[in-house]
Amino acid sequence: MVVSKLKRIVISQQEEIKEKFQRENIIVRDIDLNRLKGYLSAPNILAILGIRRCGKSILTWQIIGEKTFPYINFDDERLIDFQTKDFDSLLEVFYELYGDFDTIVLDEIQNIKGWELFVNRLRRTKRVIITGSNSKLLSGELTNRLTGRYIDFVLFPFNFKEYLRYKRLSFSQESLYSTKSVGLLKKALEEYLKTGGLPEVYLLGRDMLVRIYGDILEKDVLRRGNIKKKTTFKELARYLVSNSSLEFSYSKLKNVFAIKDVHTIKNWVSLLQDSYLVFTLERFSFKLKEQFIAPKKLYCTDTGLFNTIGFTFTENIGHIMETFVAVELLRRRNYRFTSEEVYYWKDHQQREVDFVVKEGRKVKELIQVCYDIENPRTRERETKALLKAADELNCTRLSVITWDLQGQEKIQGKEIRFTPLYRWILEVP
């Protein structure tokens, strides 16, 4: 690729990012930036991964701060002809524009075949931040060469607190006791559940969700996975996203979509997970074999995508709430760098608990999510499952996340806490 063309692209991309910071409401994410900066205290690689358009590029700029640094985004149609041999030309452009430098950002690097060796060469003398929309970014040759020399961090879409910050809506702990504030808070939460946490949607409207979804399938899955049955794959993807929070098995999906080999279905689901569009939770069991063969639950990473691709909001509110909680549990685990694991629980009588939070050998908490817990039959079903799981898993912290109900109830000697969703998300730091 011609050096002069590369130079124009690098300069224009830098200008676009700077204009974005000046024009848009750029917020601080609920992430320990100092910890991420610490990973770059010496020549090293920091990989920021996550679903397309969740804010990875902006986060890299926030990590590095005010100083000018070499940056290029490979998700640019002007770089469609960029090849491995062009990396030296890119370095030449960077040195010409920035002089000597110690930090470099390579955005959506997975678009360039053979990038691993270039990054491996860079990291010997530079601090390198790479971003990508695929969890397999650090698989293969780079991982083998860089054992112990890189850190990966998964960024999620905006959480509800970040959404409020972006919308310049302020709610203190004291406001949770104000009727007016609670009403406004629930209104904001309902809008967030519909819209989701992908920042671009706040600027350009919810039509962007359809475009982002299409880009994920086309650029992050179909192109990478070399899938031949594209129409069937897209039907599967839509089915899974539309059924967020429901149990599934590979054999059932094979039959639904008339696919001969179950390994094809496994591969397709894996590709969707790699793109961060969906994730799965395993059924909890103390026996690993049972955990492995049991059906799994699948969730969409963003409630806005789920709401747009799936059914109408009102008929889906319970599943949207559960999806919201699932994403938040994984987000907290990742952002706090904890060793928590999240599962769901189900017994042979089909009693089910939505989330089992485990750390080490101990089950810390059991969580049910229920929109209409006021219904007596629903309340009995949800609490019975909690109590059964509590006995089996030796857990005393039992929670039901609701839309409205707040309080505590003692049943069979065990205390169950009922917490409205808006309080659950704001009360926990």
Whether residue 246 is found in the same domain as residue 147: no
* Contact predicate 104/69, CB 8 Å: yes
pLDDT of residue 286: 87
Give a yes or no: residue 160 inside a domain: no
Residue pair 342/330 in contact (Cβ under 8 Å)? The answer is: yes
Between the two ends of the chain, the Cα-to-Cα distance in Å is 49
Q: Are residues 275 and 341 in the same domain?
A: yes
Q: β-strand 296-300 against 341-346: which pairing, if any?
A: unpaired
Residue 96 belongs to a domain: yes
**Which of residues 154, 171, 187 is at a domain's end?**
154
Least confident of 76-80, 150-154, 228-232, 344-348: 150-154
pLDDT given at position 146: 63
Residues 136 and 252 in one domain: no
| 128/208 same-domain check | no
Q: Are residues 243 and 147 part of one domain?
A: no
Could you tell me if residue 170 is inside a domain?
Answer: no
Last residue of a domain, one of 138, 154, 170: 154
Q: What is the CATH number of the domain that holds 104?
A: 3.40.50.300
> What does the block give as tokens for 311?
């059914």
Q: Is residue 179 part of a domain?
A: no
Question: What torsion, rounded to 10 degrees, do the Cα atoms 27, 33, 34, 37 define?
Answer: -120
Does residue 197 surpass a pLDDT of 60? yes
Q: Compute the mean pLDDT over every residue in the chain, rounded to the nearest whole number.
A: 92
pLDDT bin (cut points 50, 70, 90) of residue 305 is very high
* 177 falls within a domain: no
Task: Report which of 124, 132, 85, 79 is spatially closest to residue 105, judged by C-alpha positions.
Answer: 132
Of 154, 175, 193, which one is at a domain's C-terminal end? 154
Residue 405's domain comprises 201-427
At residue 120, the pLDDT reads: 86
308 lies in the same domain as 396: yes
Residues whose CB is less than 8 angstroms from the CB of residue 402 and which lie 6 or more positions away in sequence, other chains included: 370, 371, 373, 418, 419, 420, 421
Same domain, 422 and 316: yes
pTM of the model as a whole:
0.95
The mean pLDDT value for 218-225 works out to 90
14 belongs to a structural domain = yes
Residue 328, domain CATH: 1.10.10.10
What is the residue type of 400? Answer: V
At 328, is the secondary structure helix, strand, or coil? helix
Are 150 and 217 within one domain? no
